[in-house]
Amino acid sequence: MTGNLGRVSVTPSPRKVALLTLGCARNEVDSEELAARLDAGGWQVSTDASGADVVLVNTCGFVEKAKQDSIETLLAAADTGAKVVAAGCMAERYGKELADSLPEAQAVLGFDDYADIAARLDGVLAGERFDAHTPRDRRELLPITPVQRQGVKIGIPGHGSPERATVDEHTPAHLRPVLRHRLESGPVASLKLASGCDRRCSFCAIPAFRGAFVSRDPQELLAEAEWLARTGVRELVLVSENSTSYGKDLGDPRALEKLLPQLAAVDGIVRVRASYLQPAETRPGLVEVIATTPGVAAYYDLSFQHSSEPVLRRMRRFGSTDRFLELLDSARALAPTAGARSNFIVGFPGETRQDIDELIRFLSAARLDAIGVFDYSDEDGTEAAGLPGKVREDVIKRRYDKVVSLADELCTQRAEERLGSYVEVLVDSVAGGEVEGRAEHQAPEVDGSTSLVGESAGLRPGDLVRARVTGTEGVDLIAEPVEMIDAAPVSQRG
């Protein structure tokens, strides 16, 4: 039997990678840059590990619990049968040490691998083994003087641009390339202002593995904001390790004050929220811009950490109860309903009962909308780990429980103060007849939410409505819509 059977064309199955993100909003932005690079490299990207060829875990390495969560996620990923790759802060911070202790991971990649992430995963899928890096202090990779850092070529997650070196500074924002692939839909997205930190807080290891502070170019940020708006984003949350330092390496310490109104003016964006503000660097001009600029949330995410001066000095921070209260008063003088939140560490080395009393005095007077409390634990490589005067674990627990209980009570009272007031609510989700959103003083995931009841039929994610607060449940509000302020475009309504 003879004949021409011809040549059968077989289309190769797409390579599938699941990208799992742990930790903070900064990590989420980094993951979306990785997703864009992988997509450009021919990988099919999702957040679902089922059926994936490779599971890439963007780990968190901030505190012990976050590191344990990262390890558990990596081990669970290995159970799927996919090849497992560790990236992110924990991978950068520990490198070879993590690789040696976690044979389940086919590769442990550092920040310097991000630019070639698609090729790295190609190699992993082909069975190659990669030697993990030996960690180093990434602050040493950049000049000490901030203004000399721009243009230095090192791996900085979340700062990618496919043609950054060839983009003319006069290219309009909307024509600049954006290296980002959204992994989640929805009306809210983070926008990364900068990476790294120049502060030397004695309890924090982040600067050593994230590096020195580097701002992103304002035009780059505006281009990304416009791109996000075209994907349906209505609220931008500005993130970094220290947003109040934005622009110091660009030669303009007022850069954030100038950038906020520009971002708020982007077509489709109805709210811009600044986060990660350092109290010692929060200038009066920035307080005013946040409080008075239309489209910018009157919201102050201030990193107080404590309020007792002796503790703050040992933390290598500045401030006091009275100075912090003055800062909050200055914001509320301009915007009486402004929201404010902060985090605090209890049990820092040398902390006394008098220090706790001072912290309680501050919390009782500050009228914060949300309070995060952490019990101190030593972190590898930090100055605080070697400080004398360690507080006993049982004492830390008692103080922690006391401050948490007070914080819950105070935040509930603060929410009750808003009864009868009007708030602007951005609708986040509509499911099963329940409409959930957030008022101006409520940041995503950390500050509570607002349930819209009554005349809420027809509302969709992305709608911005005015509503009257009729009830509270802890820090959460219950409110009735009274007016549509800005409806999400029809093409974005689901």
Tell me the pLDDT tens digit for each residue of 424-444: 999 999 998 899 999 999 999
Listed residue (475, 431, 450, 473) closest to 186, CA to CA? 431
Listed residue (204, 285, 192) closest to 243, CA to CA? 192
**Complete DSSP assignment for 212-235:** S-EEPPHHHHHHHHHHHHHTT--E
CA R_g for the chain = 24
Listed residue (245, 243, 248) closest to 275, CA to CA? 243
Read off φ and ψ for residue 325, nearest 5 degrees.
Answer: -65, -35
User: What is residue 173's predicted lDDT score, i.e. its pLDDT?
Assistant: 64
pTM above 0.75, yes or no: yes
Give 385's pLDDT tier (boundaries 50, 70, 90): very high
pLDDT at 478 over 80: yes
Q: Are 355 and 310 in contact (CB under 8 A)?
A: yes
- Average pLDDT of the segment spanning 84-88: 95
User: What is residue 5's predicted lDDT score, i.e. its pLDDT?
Assistant: 40
- Average pLDDT of the segment spanning 224-233: 96
Q: Are 83 and 53 in contact (CB under 8 A)?
A: yes
The residue ranking higher by pLDDT, 89 or 164, is 89
Which regions of 256-387 does DSSP assign to beta strands (E)? 271-274, 299-301, 339-346, 370-375
* Tokens standing for residue 445: 């995931």
Q: Are 36 and 159 in contact (CB under 8 A)?
A: no
Residue ranges in 335-392 assigned as alpha helix (H):
353-366
Give 126's pLDDT tier (boundaries 50, 70, 90): very high
pLDDT at 242 over 90: yes
User: What is residue 410's predicted lDDT score, i.e. its pLDDT?
Assistant: 98
Listed residue (150, 136, 147, 278) closest to 210, CA to CA? 136
- Average pLDDT of the segment spanning 228-255: 96
User: What is residue 13's predicted lDDT score, i.e. its pLDDT?
Assistant: 72
User: What is residue 10's predicted lDDT score, i.e. its pLDDT?
Assistant: 44
User: What is residue 103's predicted lDDT score, i.e. its pLDDT?
Assistant: 92
- Average pLDDT of the segment spanning 227-250: 97
Q: Angle at which helices 255-264 and 218-230 pack, to 10 degrees?
A: 20
Annotated binding site: 24, 60, 89, 197, 201, 204
User: What is residue 456's predicted lDDT score, i.e. its pLDDT?
Assistant: 74
Listed residue (44, 55, 42) closest to 86, CA to CA? 55
User: What is residue 61's predicted lDDT score, i.e. its pLDDT?
Assistant: 81
Q: Are 367 and 339 in contact (CB under 8 A)?
A: no
**d(Cα 435, Cα 53) in Å, to the nearest integer?**
37
Residue ranges in 335-445 assigned as alpha helix (H):
353-366, 393-416
pLDDT at 271 over 80: yes
Q: Are 448 and 415 in contact (CB under 8 A)?
A: yes
DSSP assignment, residue 347? S
Annotated binding site for [4Fe-4S] cluster: 24, 60, 89, 197, 201, 204
User: What is residue 162's predicted lDDT score, i.e. its pLDDT?
Assistant: 53
Q: What is the mean pLDDT of the chain?
A: 92
**d(Cα 54, Cα 16) in Å, to the nearest integer?**
7
Q: Which residues pair with 15 in a beta bridge?
A: 43
Place of tokens 């103080």: 399
User: What is residue 65's predicted lDDT score, i.e. its pLDDT?
Assistant: 80
Q: Which residues pair with 301 in a beta bridge?
A: 341
Question: How far is residue 322 CA from its own chain's centroid?
Answer: 29
User: What is residue 201's predicted lDDT score, i.e. its pLDDT?
Assistant: 96
User: What is residue 169's predicted lDDT score, i.e. its pLDDT?
Assistant: 64
